[in-house]
């Protein structure tokens, strides 16, 4: 059985795992990610060096999940999000030469979608989507049973979706900046009067589950906005299922409020006055949360290298 080294490069930590060809995690850990403001690509590669050295005699290849707009077929990073020092780089080729094994890269949101398509909530799905609620919003689209990347590999880049056309020149008018945990914190702070940076998801849901009325109002505003974007995705693509992932999505109260927000929109939809049928999204939880990017990165590697049908 083959083993692989899989990385999930985030802005704060880079997670890594030794995995077998069935996506079983044999070992895993994480290391701090060098910040892009004061580090270089070589600094990041040196972090990977130490990890690869540990596993080099056990692996048949390296799969990487990372942010950015990526040509995942050629292994080229056009942009790289919080790993900005990797932008405009042939990352896969550079690392393959460095380590002497095949290397692939894939966008982190698309990796989450691939994990769900391979073994999770989108398995067997014809048309579906994954929406990952992290610090911002990531995800991917499945069309005709395959991950849809688009001609320029930018399909499913939810973060760039404008949700406020009256103020398009500010960051908070884009889904990626107001649709994840940061957006939830800002929605709650609108009612509590506190600095939104004082909140994280754990604290918000501790207060929400305790019945804090102001926090619950913020949660309602957040799920109203989220349900609108999910509704839009469904209307545009006629999806079988939309799976919600990310850290805050593990909270049952979020799903309760999201379903209520969707139902409220569908029941009270003004177009009902003209046509009684309103397309209704079918939402569910992602199966994989913290390990989704690792699993999806491995799937991409194995598909690209002809190791999966």
Q: Which residues pair with 244 in a beta bridge?
A: 131, 285
Q: Given the structure tokens 């999930």, which residue do they identify?
A: 8
The DSSP letter of residue 34 is: P
Q: Per-residue pLDDT tens for 264-308?
A: 999 999 999 999 899 999 999 999 988 999 999 999 999 999 998
Cβ contact 116:288 at 8 Å: yes
User: Mean pLDDT throughout 5-27?
Assistant: 96
The whole-number pLDDT of residue 58 equals 96
State the pairing for strand pair 241-245/128-133.
parallel
Q: How many CA atoms lie within 13 A of 129 on its CB side?
A: 26
Reply yes or no on whether the pLDDT at 258 is more than 90.
yes
Cβ contact 145:116 at 8 Å: no
Cβ contact 80:67 at 8 Å: yes
User: Mean pLDDT throughout 169-176?
Assistant: 92
Q: Per-residue pLDDT tens for 181-205?
A: 999 999 999 999 999 999 999 999 9
User: Mean pLDDT throughout 235-253?
Assistant: 95
Percent of the chain at pLDDT exceeding 70: 100
Cβ contact 208:250 at 8 Å: no
User: Mean pLDDT throughout 26-45?
Assistant: 96
Confidence of residue 1 (pLDDT cuts 50, 70, 90): confident
Q: Per-residue pLDDT tens for 193-237?
A: 999 999 999 999 999 999 999 999 999 999 999 999 999 999 999
Nearest Cα to 79, choosing from 61, 65, 91, 67? 67
The whole-number pLDDT of residue 177 equals 85
- The alpha carbon torsion through 8, 119, 156, 171 (nearest 10 deg) reads -50
User: Mean pLDDT throughout 77-87?
Assistant: 94
The DSSP letter of residue 46 is: H
User: Mean pLDDT throughout 100-109?
Assistant: 97
The whole-number pLDDT of residue 289 equals 86
Cβ contact 227:265 at 8 Å: yes
Confidence of residue 82 (pLDDT cuts 50, 70, 90): confident
Q: Per-residue pLDDT tens for 3-14?
A: 999 999 998 899
Q: Given the structure tokens 């270089």, which residue do they identify?
A: 40
Task: Please give the structure tokens belonging to residue 10.
Answer: 């985030």
Q: Tell me how far apart the alpha carbons of residues 166 and 12 are, in angstroms, rounded to a whole number.
A: 33
Q: Per-residue pLDDT tens for 108-160?
A: 999 999 999 999 999 999 999 999 998 889 999 999 999 999 999 999 999 89
Give 81 or 4, the one with higher predicted confidence.
4
The DSSP letter of residue 174 is: B
User: Mean pLDDT throughout 160-172?
Assistant: 92
Strand stretches in the chain, DSSP E: 3-9, 13-20, 25-32, 62-66, 70-71, 76-77, 103-107, 128-133, 137-143, 146-148, 241-245, 283-285
Q: Which residues pair with 7 in a beta bridge?
A: 16, 64
User: Mean pLDDT throughout 13-26?
Assistant: 97
Task: Please give the structure tokens belonging to residue 51.
Answer: 């990890």
The whole-number pLDDT of residue 32 equals 96
Q: Tell me how far apart the alpha carbons of residues 173 and 100 are, in angstroms, rounded to a whole number.
A: 44
Reply yes or no on whether the pLDDT at 309 is more than 80.
no
Mean pLDDT of the chain: 95
């Amino acid at each position: 059985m083959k083993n692989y080294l899989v990385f999930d490069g985030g802005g704060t930590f880079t997670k890594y795992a030794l995995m077998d060809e069935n996506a079983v995690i044999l070992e895993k850990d994480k290391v701090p990610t060098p910040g892009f403001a004061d580090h270089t690509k070589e600094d990041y590669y040196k972090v990977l060096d130490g990890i690869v050295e540990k596993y080099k005699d056990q692996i048949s290849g390296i799969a990487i999940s990372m942010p950015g707009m990526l040509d995942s077929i050629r292994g080229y990073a056009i942009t790289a999000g919080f790993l900005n020092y990797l932008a405009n780089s042939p990352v896969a080729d550079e690392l393959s030469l460095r380590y002497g094994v095949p290397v692939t890269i894939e966008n982190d949101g698309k990796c989450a979608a691939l994990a769900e398509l391979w073994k999770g909530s989108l398995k067997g799905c014809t048309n579906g989507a994954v929406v990952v609620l992290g610090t911002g919003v990531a995800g991917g689209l499945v069309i005709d049973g395959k991950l849809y990347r688009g001609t320029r590999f930018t399909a499913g880049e939810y973060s760039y979706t404008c949700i406020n056309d009256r103020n398009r020149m500010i960051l908070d008018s884009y889904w990626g900046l107001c649709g994840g945990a940061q957006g939830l914190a800002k929605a709650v702070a609108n009612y509590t009067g506190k600095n939104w940076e004082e909140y994280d998801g754990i604290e918000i849901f501790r207060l929400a589950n305790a019945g804090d009325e102001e926090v619950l109002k913020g949660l309602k505003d957040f799920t109203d906005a989220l349900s609108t974007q999910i509704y839009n995705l469904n209307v545009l693509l006629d999806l079988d299922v939309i799976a919600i992932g990310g850290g805050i999505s593990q909270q049952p109260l979020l799903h309760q409020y999201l379903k209520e927000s969707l139902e409220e929109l569908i029941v009270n939809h003004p177009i009902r006055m003209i046509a009684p049928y309103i397309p209704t999204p079918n939402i569910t939880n992602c199966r994989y949360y913290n390990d989704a990017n690792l699993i999806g990165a491995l799937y991409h590697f194995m598909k690209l290298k002809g190791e999966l049908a």
